[in-house]
Chain A
C-alpha cells in the first residue's frame, strides 16, 4: 500500500481541502488534468454528503498500482445515520437534503469503480476508484 492521506471532514472548508488534496494525489499518480478535475469533483460530492448527513467523517486518499494500472482510491467514511435505501440514493434526482440529488449518482458516473456500504444508525462508507494505464 502506498502513501495514505486522511482528511477529517467537519466543516465546509474541509470539502475544499479534500478535493484539493485529491487533485494533488491524482496529479502525482500521473492522471491528466481532465481526470484530476473529475476526481476532485467526485471527492467534493462525497465529502459534502458526509457534512450534510453525518456532520463529521473523513476522506482517505491513496494510490495503488495493479499490474500496468495505477489508481487513486478514495474512501469517504462516516458514523452518521446511514442510508436506508442505497439503491434509491444512487438514483439521479433523489435527495433527502434538498439538494439536486446528483451527488452520489454523479460521483459514480465520474469514477471507474464505486461502492457504497451503509448501515442505518451506524454509518456510511463510499469507496471509489479511478484507474489509468501506465505507459512504459
Chain B
C-alpha cells in the first residue's frame, strides 16, 4: 500500500516535470496581460492578435506546406530504403547503406544542417539548382531527416511480417508488382502513414537545420518565432505555442495509434 502511494507520487512528479512548463505556456496563452508570464484574467485576445499577424500566419502556412512536402518525399525515399533493408537480403554495401540512412538520427542537427548547406551551395555552383536558399532547400533538408525515421519504421514493420507472404502471392499468380501492391503495401501502409506523421512533425518543429538552409524566402514558423523572441516576448508567442502543442499532440497521437501492435 505505501509502496503504491510512493510510486504514484513519483509518477506525479515525473509528469509534472514533463508537462508543467507546457501547461503553463498554454495557460498563459489565455491571459489578458501584456507580459507573457503574468496572469491578467482570461482572454482570447492573443489568439486574435496571432491570427492578425500576417508574418506569423504566412510563416505557419509555409511551414505546413514544407512539412507536408517533406513528409511525402520522406515516405517515398525512406519507404524504399526500409524495404530494401528489410527484404533485399545481404546485398553489397548493405551495412554502409543502413548506417548512412540512420545517420541523420544520430548526427547533431547542426552538423546535418551545415553539411546540407554546403551541399546546396556546391550544387548551385555546379548545376545551378537549387537556386538560392529558401523553401525548396528547407523541404529537401527536412525530407532527408524524415526519410531516416520512415526507413526505420518501415524496416521494423517488414521485419515483423512473414517474408514468405510475397512469395505466396506470386505462387498464386501475382506478378512481383501485383504482389507488392496487394500484399506488401497494405502491410506497411500503417508504417508509412505513421512515418509521414513523424516526418511532418519533425519538419514543423525544426529550427536548427532550417536556420542553416533557409533564406529570406524560407522563413518557417519556428524561425519566425525565434526572431520574435529576440525582439521581445509577447503573449502571441504563447498562443502560437498552444496551437503548435495541440497540432503536434494530435499528430503524435495518430502516429502512435497507427503503429500500435496488432494481434496475429
Q: Are A and B bound to each other?
A: no
Interface residues of A (CB under 8 A from B): none
Interface residues of B (CB under 8 A from A): none
